[in-house]
Amino acid sequence: MKSITINGSKRESVGKKATKALRNAGQVPCVLYGGDQPVHFSAAELAFSKLVYTPNAHTVVIALGDVSYNAVLQDIQFHPVTDKILHIDFYQLFDDKEIAMDIPVVLNGNPLGVRAGGVLRRNRRKLRIKALPTNLPDNIQVDISGLKIGNKVSVSELFNDDYKFLHSNNTVVCQVKQSRVSVDIEEDEDEEEEGSTETTDSASESKESKSEGNESSEA
């Protein structure tokens, strides 16, 4: 998984006044959990843009002077009016400890059902997995090119040795549903088949009538 480096500095004071002063200076107060003790630090708000405002998943290297920590974003708080980042919690990574994380789902291919007029519905844009840090994927690839109308992809079909899903096996990731257009197409096809059958029957009846007429004139 790709990693982003955040350069910050340890906080000497964690009181309300100090926190407010940090925010006024364009800094974001943060806490790193998972180690022996929580680590309080701050970093410029712009430093989090590639981590927060993206659909992709990343791990983080928190650089605090001569010390650095590997971590993942655990929680984030935004201002209800301005949408500015108020606070971020991180969780420290260790090579021998599994971590739970939400990973984006990438769908590949154009489903057969969509080409037939169906509609693709994405039930899960992200899936929560548990794995060692070295086995965390950038995304989960799903081939949907063979899906027909009524078909779906569930978690049970995405088994991987490197990580395990924290969802039930029958959790639906995506599916192709029947749409109004696909129904109309099927009805039109049925009408065409019926029309061709009626035309064939009419032609047969016409031939029979002609043959009967010829027999009557000969008599």
Q: What is the pTM of this model?
A: 0.74
Summarize pLDDT for 121-170 with one digit per residue, the tens.
999 999 999 999 999 999 999 999 999 999 999 999 999 999 999 999 99
Per residue in 22-31, pLDDT tens? 999 999 999 9
- Counting DSSP H helices and E strands in the chain, the numbers are 4, 13
Q: Is a pLDDT exceeding 90 seen at residue 212? A: no
Q: Provide mean pLDDT across the span 1-15.
A: 90
pLDDT at 161: 93
Q: Which helix (H) or strand (E) holds 29?
A: strand 27-33
Which are the contacts of 146, defined by CB distance < 8 A and separation ≥ 6?
109, 111, 112
Domains of the chain: 3-93 (2.40.240.10), 100-177 (2.170.120.20)
Average pLDDT of the chain? 86
Q: Looking at residue 30, what is its pLDDT?
A: 95
